[in-house]
Chains A and B, each alone.
Chain A
């Protein structure tokens, strides 16, 4: 059973460009979460999605960031007009609802560098 997959693993963008990060959840998982790891802030929740629905986006910056999880295909985290402060590791996690359990499994992350 393949784990959570993310691509690309490393992404370099110039300031002002767009970054698209992809996440394929584990087979059978219908819940996807995105987290960001900044050196001075630790791991922070960004957004929680189910297929075609954003459930909780309270951790997303108000501008330039968006996320989707379409009916078909991977979840996408999109960052428009990137700035140096967006440089970070972005992790995707997935889970399956089992009773009250939301145990999350993480992908290897995408390391975004903005030059």
Chain B
């Protein structure tokens, strides 16, 4: 299957700081999604971004499909941003099956 690697595995920030999370994938993909798993375990859709750049409030994401990576930017972080951020890709030929990275554990301190 396709390999999805996320970095860094852990990130500790103070409130107000900015951060960049990276997702590398080993093959061409049809779809790419970013999720936030909050401390209650729920998976929240952040972006559906197979290519290009999108922004939603303090969050933005960029996928460069030809170079097989995606970046998630979090600006002016807040304690509610804490949790695990997952990148997941769909190779298209696998009919929508998502391959997940191991995630980035983000902790934001007040």
How many residue pairs between the two chains, A and B, have CB atoms under 8 Å in the bound complex?
A: 58
Interface size class of A (residues with CB under 8 A): 20 to 34
Chain A, residue nearest B100 (CB):
A43
- Known contacts: A56-B94, A109-B41, A111-B41. The answer to whether A101 contacts B99 by CB under 8 A is no
For residue B16, CB closer than 8 A to chain A, the reply is no
Residues of A within 8 A of B94 (CB): 56
Contact A101-B97, Cβ < 8 Å, known A43-B86, A109-B41, A111-B41: no
- CB < 8 Å neighbour of B96 from A43, A44, A104, A105: A104
Q: Does A95 contact B (CB under 8 A)?
A: yes
What residue of chain B has the Cβ atom nearest to residue A46's Cβ?
A: B97
Q: Interface residues of B, CB < 8 Å — how many?
A: 23
Contact with B along A92-106 (1 / 0, CB 8 A): 010100001111111
Distance in angstroms from A65 CB to nearest chain B CB is 16
- Say whether B48 faces chain A, with CB atoms less than 8 Å apart: yes
Q: B102 contacts A42, CB within 8 Å?
A: yes
As a 0/1 sequence over residues 36 to 50 of chain B, the CB contacts with chain A under 8 angstroms (1 = contact) are: 000001110100100
| Interface presence of B92 (CB below 8 A) | yes
Cβ–Cβ contact A109 & B98, under 8 A: no
**Chain A residues engaging chain B, CB cutoff 8 angstroms:** 31, 33, 35, 42-45, 48, 55-56, 59, 89, 91, 93, 95, 100-106, 108-109, 111
Interface residues of B (CB under 8 A from A): 30-31, 33, 35, 41-43, 45, 48, 86, 88, 90, 92, 94-103
CB<8 Å pairs between A and B, sample of 10 = A33-B96, A35-B100, A43-B98, A48-B95, A93-B98, A103-B31, A103-B48, A104-B33, A104-B98, A108-B42
